[in-house]
Amino acid sequence: MALRSMARMGVMALAATFTVAASAQDNLISNGDFEAGTTDPWGVYGDAALMLDEGDAFAGSASLKVEVNSVGANFWDAGLQYNVDVTFTGGTLYTWAAFVKSEGSKEINWKPELAADPWTAYGEQYLTMSADWTEYFVEFTPEADVAPASLTMHIQAGDEDFWIDNARWYEGAYVPGDTGAPTAVEADGKATTTWGSLKTR
C-alpha cells in the first residue's frame, strides 16, 4: 500500500512538472505562424516591405516574407518588429525563437529592446541566416521591467530577402519548436539543425 501510494504521488508530481513546463512555453506572440491570413501585428521600418507568402512555409500554409530593398549605411537602418503590447518583466528569463530562411547567407541582428530612446538591448545577438528553414533563438533576462518593449530584427546589413515562420516568445529557457525538434541555432551559433526537407513546396 505504501509503495502504491508513493507511486501515485510520483506520477502526480511528474504530471505537475509537465504542466508547469507546458505553461512556461505559452507563446506570447500573436500570429507567429502567419495562418491568420494577414501580416498583422508585425511591421517594418526603413527600406523594407512585408508580404504574406502562401507558396513557402516551414509549416502550415503561409509564412511572412520580408523584402529588403537595399543595403543600409548601418545594419539597423531597416528592421522587422513585433512590438504590439510587448513588455518584459524584470528578472524573468525569456526565449525568442523563430524558423527563418533567407536568400543566400543573411546577417540579422536579433534585438529584444526598449522600444524608445535609448533603445536598450536585452540579449542582442548577430546571427547568420541560411537558405534552409532553420530555427534560431536568443534567451534574455532583463534586470528590470521594460515597457514599451519590442522584438526587433535589424535587417539591412545586406539586401537579401528572408522568410520567417513559427515565431515564438515565451517565459523560460529554449525548448525546440515543432514536434520534438532537436537543437537549433543557439545565440553563439554552436549547433544547427536545418529543416529544408520539411518545408511546404
Least confident of 21-30, 57-66, 108-117, 128-137: 21-30
> Tens of pLDDT along 68-109?
999 999 999 999 999 999 999 999 999 999 999 999 899 999
Tell me the chain's radius of gyration from C-alpha atoms. 18
> Tens of pLDDT along 107-138?
999 999 999 999 999 999 999 999 999 999 99
Q: Give the pLDDT of residue 179.
A: 42
> Tens of pLDDT along 148-188?
999 999 999 999 999 999 999 999 999 998 743 434 444 44
The two beta strands, 125-129 and 48-53, are: unpaired
User: 102 exposed, middle or buried (CB, 10 Å; 0-12, 13-18, 19+)?
Assistant: buried
| Domain residue limits, the chain | 27-198
In DSSP terms, which residues pair with 68 in a beta bridge? 48
In DSSP terms, which residues pair with 108 in a beta bridge? 127
Nearest to 182 by CA among 173, 165, 195: 195
The three-state secondary structure class of 43 is strand
CATH architecture of the domain 27-198 equals Sandwich (2.60)
Per-residue burial over 105-124, b if 16 or more Cβ lie within 10 Å, else e, is ebbbbbbbbbbeeeeeebbb
Q: What's the whole-number mean pLDDT along residues 55-72?
A: 97
**Number of residues written out for the chain:** 201
